[in-house]
Amino acid sequence: RRVLFRSLTSRRPSSPFPITYLSQVYPTSTHLIQAQKFLHLSPTPSIATLIRLSPTPLSLALSHAATQRPDWDGVEERTVFHALNLKFTQNRELGEWLESTGEREIRGVDEEGREVGEVVMRVRKALQEMRKRHPSPRREWGTYSVGLL
């Protein structure tokens, strides 16, 4: 049996479950994913900050596409994985939902038309492995899930 990710709007990357990355709070994982396209602009990644605070992060990122990091195609999948990993580990309800899917196939697309079901299943597997290694309460999982974006 399949779980349709797109039909579960609270589980989509744009759903309003904030995540914290490098001491910054992002309203959704979509905000973090889109901001990652511009964090290379130093010393002040102002576009990334604007995206983090924007009500429309995808639109804002698309309007600045010419200045996004040149290696984005090579890091996009890893970035999406880490952002969703943070989302499911830092938000207890979502982590519990993901665990409840067992081994079922998850399918769905995000706002950019990206297939995210495969990524969500990889996050689920990582959470299951993490639980085996660290059977502590889920509220602590976020400390184990931070990865390099």
Confidence at residue 35, expressed as pLDDT on a 0 to 100 scale = 95
Nearest to 149 by CA among 16, 46, 28, 34: 34
Residues in the chain with pLDDT values less than 70? 1-14, 42-45, 136-149
Contact 83, 19 (CB under 8 A): yes
Confidence at residue 143, expressed as pLDDT on a 0 to 100 scale = 42
pTM of the complete model: 0.81
Q: Could you tell me whether strands 24-26 and 19-21 are parallel, antiparallel, or unpaired per DSSP bridges?
A: antiparallel
pLDDT in tens, 90-104: 998 888 889 889 899
Confidence at residue 100, expressed as pLDDT on a 0 to 100 scale = 86
